[in-house]
Amino acid sequence: MPLSEHEQRMLDEMERQLFADDPRLARAFAPKTPPRRSGRRILIGLSAVVVGLIVLVLAVSLPAIWLGVIAFIGMLAGAVYAVTGSGSSSEGKGTADGDGGGGGSGPAAPGGDDGGTFMRKMEERWEKRAGDDPRS
């Protein structure tokens, strides 16, 4: 069921207020963009795969199984490096924000600031709609 215009405006206002009150929590729930692969990263990974393949062929021609295993692991690491994006640093930031996000539930409680009054108003409206208004 689609939202009415009034409900859509209310949802947009709540979203703006969330970004203003707790930007870390808002970033934690924001849609993640896929990591962008750089040409340099792909080139390094591809060269590691090629070197690993050459070493693997050498290991087959020599009776050295351990060298073949090392070459295969090197090829696998190069392929993984080429395919994965450089978004590991942003994920680390998200983890740090996730730790601070536990304390982010504090602003949702009435705190006397603008965010608290906004949430209080929203709760009052919800209770009024549900018929559970304690002031009645």
Output the DSSP codes for 52-104.
HHHHHHHHHHTT-HHHHHHHHHHHHHHHHHHHS-STHHHHHHHHHHHHHHTGG
Q: Is the pLDDT of residue 61 over 80?
A: yes
Please report the pLDDT score of residue 87 as a whole number: 55
pLDDT at 91: 42
Asked if residue 36 has pLDDT above 70, the reply is: no
**For residue 66, is pLDDT > 70?**
yes
Mean pLDDT of 10-29: 80
The continuous run of DSSP H or E covering 127 comes out as helix 114-130
pLDDT band of 63, cuts 50, 70, 90: confident
Which phi and psi angles does 75 have, rounded to 5°? -65, -45
Task: Kindly list the domain boundaries of the chain, sorted by start residue.
Answer: 36-86
Judged against a pLDDT cut of 50, whether residue 108 lies above it is answered with no
Q: Is residue 41 scored above 60 in pLDDT? A: yes
Check residue 134 and report its DSSP letter: T
